[in-house]
Amino acid sequence: MQLFVNDLTVMDFSYLCPKRGMVGESWIVDVILDGELNEESMVQDFGHVKKNLKRLIDEYVDHKLLVPAEYSGSEVIHDDDSEQVEARFTCIDGRSIMLHCPAEAYAFVYSDEINMESVGVYLKEVLATHLPENVENITLHLREEVINSPYYHYTHGLKKHDGNCQRIAHGHRSRIDIILDGKVCVESQQYWADRWADIYIATREDEIAYSDRKLKGQVSNEADYYCFAYESSQGYFELLIPKSDCEVIETDSTVECLAQYLLEEQKKRTPDGVCQVIAYEGVGKGATLKG
């Protein structure tokens, strides 16, 4: 007997890619459970599936940075005294990305690449140890939202958030709608999709000097890098990332603030008429503003 649950959850996370750098992503999760009927004449109660499996997926992947542990350019250093972990990542073009964060901010996937297959294997191994005895197998289907208009991948961190959004490197795959005088402007949407392709959106006040960082890893061309850091309720977070991969804004990077920023920047490009921005944060949620 098979029990299936579509749209179990959406995983919003970022991952390190040898070619693209730091990539924000949003994947929808469907699950299938194979097993015998239990004493309730069920494979498992839908409520338990949704609650328990979603909790585990949130715990192990959602709002984390996924690191391909077997990629030759990955280096991970654990500090047992502070429980901090330093991750150093070198892209194939020589760009460096480094982080100094609590261990809970990462997921280390034993593969040389982060993709749906490697993450599916990682999650299946985690979930398999938490299944009831009558469930023999679990199948995960990871998929992207179908978006037929321009979109971008972005990463950020929200230091004021009291949950996992405070982690400095988590992200989203998000569509962007720009409406000018009541009509969709595909050209403007494509502009933002290109401008924010695989972008890290940082807050100006979080920038620190290279010399003030706690990261022990070095780069030879420090002028080409930003270093951002902050302390929040989960601990200390620090990120070193190429300036070419960043957009630095003066506000927090909540989706509400991003909608405001997008509107202000778009009005510089198209000053005449009424502009509406619909900024998405992953799948099915976001903020909109008109001006």
State the CATH number of the domain containing residue 121: 3.30.479.10
- Domain membership of residue 127 (yes or no) is yes
In angstroms, rounded to a whole number, what is the distance separating the alpha carbons of residues 197 and 245?
9
Hunting for tokens 């004021």 — which residue is that?
160
- Domain membership of residue 212 (yes or no) is yes
In angstroms, rounded to a whole number, what is the distance separating the alpha carbons of residues 291 and 275?
5
> In this predicted structure, what is the pLDDT of residue 42?
46
Number of domains, the chain:
1
First to last CA, the chain: 55
- Domain membership of residue 32 (yes or no) is yes
> In this predicted structure, what is the pLDDT of residue 36?
58
Asked whether residue 43 carries a pLDDT value surpassing 50, the answer given is: no
- Domain membership of residue 192 (yes or no) is no
pTM of the predicted protein model: 0.94
- Domain membership of residue 52 (yes or no) is yes
Give 52's pLDDT tier (boundaries 50, 70, 90): confident
Q: Which domain holds residue 138?
A: 2-173+202-246
- Domain membership of residue 90 (yes or no) is yes
DSSP, collapsed to helix, strand or coil, labels residue 269 as helix
Asked whether residue 165 carries a pLDDT value surpassing 90, the answer given is: yes
- Domain membership of residue 194 (yes or no) is no
In angstroms, rounded to a whole number, what is the distance separating the alpha carbons of residues 152 and 176?
8
Q: Which two tokens stand for residue 25?
A: 């992503």
- Domain membership of residue 269 (yes or no) is no
Confirm if 138 and 123 have CB atoms less than 8 A apart: no
Q: Cβ neighbours of residue 215 under 8 Å, at least 6 residues apart?
A: 86, 98, 99, 100, 227, 238, 240
